[in-house]
Each structure stands twice: as C-alpha cells, then as structure tokens.
Structure 1
Amino acid sequence: MVKQVAAPHHVGSLVVLLRCCEDKVRQRLQPLLDEADLSPEHWRIMALLREQPGLGAGAIATGAVLPSASVTRHVDKLVERDMVVRSIDPADKRRVVLALSPRGLDLAEQLLAEERAVEDVIATSLGPKRFEALARDLDMLPRVLDG
C-alpha cells in the first residue's frame, strides 16, 4: 500500500506561504494566459494598463512589479499579440505611452473576472471581515518592508 503524503504546510515561513498563494492564483489564470500565449508578467502589465492607461515604461515597471530591464521585452510581446498599443504622449512628444488595445481590454476583462472569482472563494472561506483585514495587511506589507 502506498502511503499518501499530505501537501506541505509552511506555517513557519511567510515567504513560502505568499509564494504558495501566488502559485494557486496563477494556476487559476494560467489556462486563459496559455490560450493567449501570455505570461503572468504580461497579465500584470495589462491589469495595470486597464486601470491606468497612458503609462510609460518606468511606471509600468514599478506598478507591475517588474525589473525595468524586462519591461520593453514584455511590452513588445504584448504589442505583437495586439494586446497593447504604443502612442506618443500628447503632453510630451518625446515620450511613448501604452494602453490596452480593444483585444487586450477584452482579455483583461476575462482575466479580471477570473481573479475576482478567486477572491470570492477566499472571501467566502474567510468571511468578509477576515478577508478585508487580509487585504489591508497585504496592502500594507510592501510599505512595512520598505522601512
């Protein structure tokens, strides 16, 4: 008889718990990303541009939590896939800004709906007060770590 091994429970490591949670969310989004031949990094850029169209590369690196050196490569793929469009900033002709294309906006809405479904599962499991507290704490964590 083969003994079943339970999934690891990493109570002692917050870093591992955060990675585990990120992995579970990514698993839910991955089928939609695979269909569009996109990565989670592409989704972070698209989600940011959905909320804030007209950003430049520097703001995208910060907002999507990506290394600055990789933003152009990721954006190039999104442009190639007709998910994002580049345009000249009307306020500063030297600056290129980015926005979602209609196709990118459609996919972003699908991915956002899947993200919300994941959040609904978590909120239902934790209850509204614990879910709101978790969201507040996670929102505060980067500022705490920045000192």
Structure 2
Amino acid sequence: MEFTGPQSPAGLRTTPSWLLNQTASHAARLISEGFAAHELRGYHYRLLAALAESGPASQADLGRRCGIDRSDVVAAINDLAGRGLVVRAPDPADRRRNVISLTEAGADEGRRMAETVERVQQDLLAPLTAAERDQLTRLLTRLLEHHSRT
C-alpha cells in the first residue's frame, strides 16, 4: 500500500511549513557561519544593532527589544564589553541599573556584521529576482505578523 500524503517524503517537499523550515535552517546555518568569522553570534549582532539604532539602553530594555532572556543578555554584554565593543555605566537616574553604550569599535563591528547579513541575504535569495525577493519578504512579514497576534 502506498501513501503519498503530506507526511510522506514526496508530500513534504510541497508543504509550505516543511519548505519554510528547511529554508530557515539553511539561512540560520549561513548566518552562523558568517558571524563565526567575527567570532560572534546572532544575539551579539542583535544587541549591537539595537544600540546603533536606538542609542544607550539598560540591559533589561535591550533584552526586551532584542527578545533575549535577561541572564543571556548579561552574558552577551560581558562578551561584548570584554572585546571593547560596548561599555557599561551606572544609570544616572537609577544607580541600580547599568546603561550599555556602543563604542566606536562596536559600531564598526556592527557595520561589518550588517555587511555579513547582507551577503547572506544575497546568497540565500540568489535564485529570486528583486521583485520576487520583495514579494517573499512581504508574504513572510504577513505570516509572521498574523502568528504574532495569535
């Protein structure tokens, strides 16, 4: 007896959830490899990008904005501070909190990592035209927004 439903290997190859998962796995591998060249990880990039975009912030605010657990933020900030990419200073309004700021070296590293992200996007989406890339981004955004509300 032959079964060719969505759970069969042939059926899976046409299932959007399977295709999204496979593509996401490939994208994650490419990003991880790209960031490894910087000796950093994705969460480091998210923190550097958030600081570049919005300026100095408390560790708690950074964690919320970047979707990183509080304890992981502390470890990541320790890594970045150890490399001279960020500095910690007591919050003048509340000495119990630290404010994290980007250093010039951190801004430079963030820009280099952003270039890596752009190269990965080019590689990942190479088979698509510019219009198809825009359409894919719109569709993925719509899906993500829908499922973020539910």
Give the aligned residue type for 1:39: R
Partner of 2:140: 138
- RMSD (Å) for aligned C-alpha atoms: 2.6
Percent identical residues: 20
When normalised by structure 1's length, the TM-score is 0.74
Partner of 1:84: 86
Find the aligned partners of 1:143 and 1:57 in 2 and give their Cα distance. 26
Q: How does 1:8-19 map to 2 (within 5 A)?
A: 11=13, 12=15, 13=18, 14-19=20-25
Partner of 1:93: 94
Find the aligned partners of 1:140 and 1:62 in 2 and give their Cα distance. 22
Residues 43-84 of structure 1: CA deviation (Å, up to 9, x unaligned): 221122121221222332233232222111111121121111
Find the aligned partners of 1:123 and 1:18 in 2 and give their Cα distance. 12
In structure 2, runs of 5+ residues without a counterpart are 1-9
Q: How does 1:1-147 map to 2 (within 5 A)?
A: 11=13, 12=15, 13=18, 14-31=20-37, 33-34=38-39, 38-89=40-91, 92-94=93-95, 95-122=97-124, 124-146=126-148, 147=150
Q: Structure 1 stretches (4+) deviating beyond 4 angstroms?
A: none
Partner of 1:5: none
Of the structure 1 ranges 101-110 and 19-28, higher mean CA displacement relative to structure 2 is found in 19-28
Find the aligned partners of 2:25 and 2:64 in 1 and give their Cα distance. 20
Kept after mapping to 2: 8 A contact 1:82/1:101: yes
In structure 1, runs of 5+ residues without a counterpart are 1-8
Label 1:56 to 1:15 Cα distance change in 2 as closer, same or farther (>3 A).
farther
Give the aligned residue type for 1:100: L
How many residues matched? 135
When normalised by structure 2's length, the TM-score is 0.73
Higher gyration radius (CA): 2
